[in-house]
Amino acid sequence: MKILLCHLTLSMGPLEENLKILERAVQIAGEVKADWVITPETAVQGYHFYKIDPEQKLDPQPAEYLTPLRDLVRKNRQYLFLGAGEYDVKDNCNYNTCFVFGPDGELIGKHRKNHSHGYGGEGWVTNSTVAEPVQVGNVKTGIMVCSDAWYVECPKRLAEQGAQILVDIAGWPISKECGDPLPSWIKCSNETGLPMVLCNQTGKTEWLDFTVGQSVYIENGQPKLTYSGEDALLLFEWDETKNSVISERFAVMPF
């Protein structure tokens, strides 16, 4: 199967522009016959949306403005892992979520971030305590949002429930504040025995320099595919029957 990572500049939004970018990325993913399309953390609103406008209200998801994106997913017969903030009416709080849409464009599962630091750019986030794999086609998939991978109990819980692969959507560059996240991703793979896909983002802001952020594929605790730098779509082939990568490097498509 083919997996495509959207290593893109999205952190500053606004939502309307990010949706155009994501729709274009999903369209290209269809042209190259990608089976899975994975976006970074908070790809819909932009990671820094709360710093830009603390009064911005989040919507319950999936919102109406996701319809064109979901229509493309349906047209392409893909799975889309989409990072977005959401408001939960029942819980009366906001979650930082990875939604998974199936080839019919319908929501098939989601994971809400368990380990937000809850201040600054993430002052809007309520942590979830739920971590359950999502059945994505034939693959039982353990999904995380960014720093969930820092705390090994989250990936371990997913592995114990039968996950075959870990997918982490992130906004996590190397920085003085955040350190180098690569050792924690390697630890996730080592501690669980599972391969791990990490979709990061790029772009430079006054708060974080995402251009040094890495998107990676790790197997048996070894980084097999890595990329950092300019906006690009990263394509690789993965054997879901062997839980093993086929590609020797990302096919990098400048965006």
Walk along the chain (255 residues) in steps of 10 and give the mean pLDDT of each run.
Answer: 99 97 99 99 95 92 98 98 98 98 98 88 92 98 96 96 98 80 95 98 91 96 97 98 97 98
The pLDDT value recorded for residue 158 is 98
CATH of domain 2-254: 3.60.110.10
Residue 193 φ/ψ region, left for φ over 0, alpha for ψ in the -120 to 50 degree band, beta for the rest: left
The pLDDT value recorded for residue 66 is 99
The pLDDT value recorded for residue 120 is 75
